[in-house]
Amino acid sequence: MDQQPYTPPTTAALHTLNGAMYYAAPQPTAPLATHRPAQQAAPVQVIDPTAIHLPAPAPTGQDRDVWPARLLAGGIGIGAAGAGLGFLLQTLAAATTGLGLLAVVLALVWLLKNSNGAAGGGRGGGAVNVSVSVTNRNR
């Protein structure tokens, strides 16, 4: 292992025509190589970056058995329909209960309004005039 401290390579500073400074890297003495660890013995394959890699097409026809997928989709659909129907019936029950309670309250209000406090009810309200005349012919 190299025990020397790291010294950055010296680069030449160049100047443009207007005086701005830029640095030029020295030309490499050998072509650049990719680093490969020692345990990687397989040759490196060059991959074209412009190549489009599409997934393999799905099997069709005799190679594909679709009945399990259909069965699963049907089961999920039936379960979802059952849950939806359950929510619908629960909402309908709550609505009818609310309407029934509202009808009872309105009926009680109507009865209390129209009874006028008389035991017999009716529109007249108050005392009733009764005249009774009795005659006895046997006398």
- Residue 106 within any structural domain of the chain: yes
| 124 DSSP β-pair partners | none
For 53-109, how does the pLDDT look when each residue is reduced to its tens digit (9 = 90+)?
Answer: 666 666 666 666 677 777 778 888 888 888 889 999 999 999 999 999 999 999 999
In a domain, 98, yes or no: yes
Q: What is the pLDDT of residues 9-38, one digit of tens each?
A: 666 677 778 887 776 666 667 777 777 666
Q: What is the dihedral of CA 77, 83, 84, 88, to 10 degrees?
A: 160
| Cα 117 to the center of its chain, rounded Å | 58
The dihedral region occupied by 19, where left means phi > 0, alpha psi between -120 and 50, and beta the remainder, is left
Q: Which domain holds residue 87?
A: 70-114
64 occurs within a structural domain? no
Query: For residue 122, is it within any domain?
Result: no
- pTM for the whole structure: 0.33
pLDDT tens-digit series, residues 32-44: 777 766 665 566 6
Work out how many domains the chain is built from and give that number: 1
